[in-house]
A and B are shown apart, each in its own frame.
Chain A
């Protein structure tokens, strides 16, 4: 399978715990995006990387959130001290740099914070 993959698909955690999600993009794509989707809403942009550089972060990304993309390949999104409001689907997408390039989405990681 050469699509975008995410791991885990589901994560249940208790409030205050740290969680980490992984995204493996399509191998030839140099851009990687993270979005968050809450129930009944469209996805909202969180952050994106071009190669290993994190180029933009949304105001939605509080200081409890951190993302990395070492070596410009896979990416991780960590949430520290989770809160119930963090419960959402976290989506990863990859694409190539360019004004109109398509973003291909992974299946998402559904986080539930109890």
Chain B
């Protein structure tokens, strides 16, 4: 079975500083992994996805994530946080039927 653990429920950074949101996964198969973002009162938006190609995946809005099989991790990073990045972020693993299994989410706060 597939599962995802997001290691921090809340992360607070200052504007202009790096962002790191941590995610570990468990999968019986070669996983497909995603990061989605959810802004208040908005739908879930795909940030990036890993599908067994390059291990460093670039997404929208300057975000990227690195797939590390040995560590079963898929951490999300951004070099410089912007106020508009404040939102809830979900790490997601896909099962063989493309059914998504979500982590509990990490709320990112960006301080001015």
Contacts and interface: CB of A to CB of B under 8 A. Distances in A.
B51 A45 contact: no
Interface string B74-100: 000000000000000010101011111
Given A43-B44, A91-B44, A107-B43, A100 B32 contact: yes
Q: Contact size class for B?
A: 20 to 34
A45 B102 CA distance: 9
B105 A42 contact: yes
Given A102-B46, A105-B44, A42 B90 contact: yes
B58 interface: no
Contacts of B100: 33, 35, 43, 45, 93, 103
Nearest to A98: B98
Interface string B40-60: 001111100101100000000
A108 B102 CA distance: 16
Contact of A41 (B42, B96, B98, B104): B104
